[in-house]
DNA sequence: CTTCCATATTAGGTACACCTAACTCTAGGT
DNA sequence: ACCTAGAGTTAGGTGTACCTAATATGGAAG
């Protein structure tokens, strides 16, 4: 079960992430996320099903226990890598995603454990997402989207879901970072922007962006 | 010139290492080092020559300036990874080689610089080999093999050339580590073993092993 | 009930890096 | 001079993961 190719790991990781939003994951969404053509994904999914890593029904793909377990291992390595990059190498949290995407496939179980220990077994990545423990146990995030809040609601930002580096940089520049308080000042109707207040400053935020920010 | 595939990087790195011993590197030695068949290497060498990374004559292959430059970058990343593993994550120096072999292909220029800075720009890897600087300048090692010493000669171990983890572990267990003093007590004739003294203890060393240890 | 659109798959093909088996070439030994 | 060993290449073939173009399928809207 140990030691898979980067490609296999990438597929499983993407499926795991996507299935949070949409349970059986459609192959088209998967293709979009992986930036591959639909037939390529269709074919690969068949292979992964043969290896017992996922099941494929008409509604979409679902990871098996083994598939989930590998996916969580990769996510653990990704998030630990991010912590290493910020805590040891001085990266900012909006700079670490791409680097971690490569590192997650190059790290052994041994190194994974050593990173975790060296950093005091951190429970979250720099974006606030929980790090699965070494047995694959992953604390569920009990949070909602910033976009679900109404005017005058307050929240503490817990995590930021985003992979596009420019978007992350933008969020960071607004101070939309984990552990910070936000207050919603105004919510424009018809999906219009919301005005939020972060540490004294006001910002207009598109709902798309706000839905990517999780609060508690 | 930046951003090559792991395979290309592995070929260039192997050629760079081998050319220290044997100048134009024969494709058979390269195949042996990479653990690939001779025809596979022959074919790949042709492709690398087309990309201008090496030249291929009857005598063997020679890296071009560009090929050398990439090879040194990979070696820099390998050795910096090794230092990160020992200095930050607490690995022993005989445990880091394989891990670094994977990391060296996953590290960006940015991360390379950050590792170097965070560790105070180390000049050598944990095995004592010099780390090329960021412009690819590599200090030449002015050393000789332990096996060249005669009875009653002394030396300071500077570096250990070896990739086999069992051999590295064996050397480490004898205390044959960089910065340690050795004294040759006796040299058996006809390529027989040599008896060396390391911090008070005596060990019999095969000449093969001794030739892998560099002293000053 | 049929048309149409989105989603998904099949068919057929490419690039890449590897393999074994067979051939060539060159240098040494007798 | 010839035969042979070693090194290296050519020929032919495999597996993997990708692609585009064409085809099938399954709901919602007319």
Q: Is the pLDDT of residue B216 over 90?
A: no
- Helices A6-18 and A27-34: angle between axes, nearest 10 degrees: 120
Instruction: Provide the domain limits for residue B175.
Output: 144-215
Domain membership flag for residue A97: no
* B210 close to B145: Cβ distance less than 8 angstroms: yes
Q: Which residue has the higher pLDDT, A73 or B165?
A: A73
Q: A 93-152 residues with CB below 8 A of B?
A: 99, 102-103, 105-108, 110-111, 114-115, 118
What whole-number distance in Å separates Cα of residue B161 and Cα of residue A186?
66
Q: What is the mean pLDDT of residues B89-103?
A: 95
Domain membership flag for residue A181: yes
- Helices B6-18 and B65-83: angle between axes, nearest 10 degrees: 100
User: How far in angstroms lies nucleotide D26's C1' from the CA of residue A190?
Assistant: 32
Domain membership flag for residue B177: yes
pLDDT in tens, B103-116: 999 999 999 999 99
Q: Which residue has the higher pLDDT, B91 or B172?
A: B91
Specify the CATH number for the domain of residue B40.
1.10.10.10
What whole-number distance in Å separates Cα of residue B43 and Cα of residue B215?
38
**Tokens 């291929």 sit on residue:** B56
Domain membership flag for residue A111: no
**Cβ of A42 less than 7 A from strand C:** yes
Q: Is the pLDDT of residue A175 over 90?
A: no
Q: Is the pLDDT of residue A188 over 80?
A: yes
* B184 close to B196: Cβ distance less than 8 angstroms: yes
Q: B 67-86 residues with CB below 8 A of A?
A: 85
Domain membership flag for residue A104: no
pLDDT reported for residue A154: 92
Q: Is the pLDDT of residue B16 over 90?
A: yes
Q: Which of A89, A105, A118 sits opposite B111 (nearest CB)?
A: A89
Domain membership flag for residue B126: no
pLDDT reported for residue B3: 61
Are residues A103 and B102, on separate chains, in Cβ contact within 8 Å? no
Specify the CATH number for the domain of residue A176.
2.30.30.90
**Tokens 């922007």 sit on residue:** A193
Q: How many domains does chain A have?
A: 2
pLDDT reported for residue A159: 87
pLDDT in tens, A38-88: 999 999 999 999 999 999 998 899 999 999 999 999 999 999 999 999 999
Q: What is the ipTM of this complex?
A: 0.87
Q: Which of B88, B106, B115 sits opposite A118 (nearest CB)?
A: B88
Domain membership flag for residue A1: no
Domain membership flag for residue B134: no
Q: What is the mean pLDDT of residues B14-37?
A: 94
Q: Which conformational region is residue B29 in: left (phi greater than 0), alpha (psi within -120 to 50 degrees), or beta?
A: alpha
Q: Which residue has the higher pLDDT, B72 or A143?
A: B72
Q: What is the largest CA-CA distance in chain B?
A: 55
Q: Is the pLDDT of residue A1 over 60?
A: no
Residue B198 pairs with which residues in a beta bridge? B182, B201
pLDDT reported for residue B161: 82
User: How far in angstroms lies nucleotide C15's C1' from the CA of residue A58?
Assistant: 32
pLDDT reported for residue B95: 94
């Amino acid at each position: 079960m140990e030691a898979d190719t980067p490609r296999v790991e990438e597929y499983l990781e993407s499926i795991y992430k996507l299935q949070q939003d949409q349970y059986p994951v459609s192959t088209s969404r998967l293709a979009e996320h992986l930036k591959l053509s639909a037939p390529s994904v269709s074919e690969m999914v068949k292979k992964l099903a043969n290896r017992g890593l996922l099941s494929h029904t008409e509604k979409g793909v679902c990871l098996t226990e083994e598939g989930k377990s590998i996916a969580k291992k990769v996510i653990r390595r990704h998030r630990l890598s991010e912590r290493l990059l910020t805590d040891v190498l001085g990266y900012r949290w909006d700079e670490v995603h791409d680097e971690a995407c490569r590192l997650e496939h190059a790290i052994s179980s041994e190194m994974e454990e050593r990173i975790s220990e060296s950093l005091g077994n951190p429970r979250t990545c720099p974006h606030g997402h929980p790090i699965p423990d070494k047995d694959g146990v992953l604390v569920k995030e009990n949070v909602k989207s910033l976009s679900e809040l109404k005017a005058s609601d307050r929240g503490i930002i817990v995590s930021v879901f985003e992979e596009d580096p420019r978007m992350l940089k933008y969020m960071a520049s607004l101070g939309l970072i984990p552990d910070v308080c936000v207050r919603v000042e105004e919510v424009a109707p018809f999906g219009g922007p919301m005005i939020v207040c972060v540490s004294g400053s006001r910002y207009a935020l598109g709902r798309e962006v706000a839905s990517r920010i999780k609060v508690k």
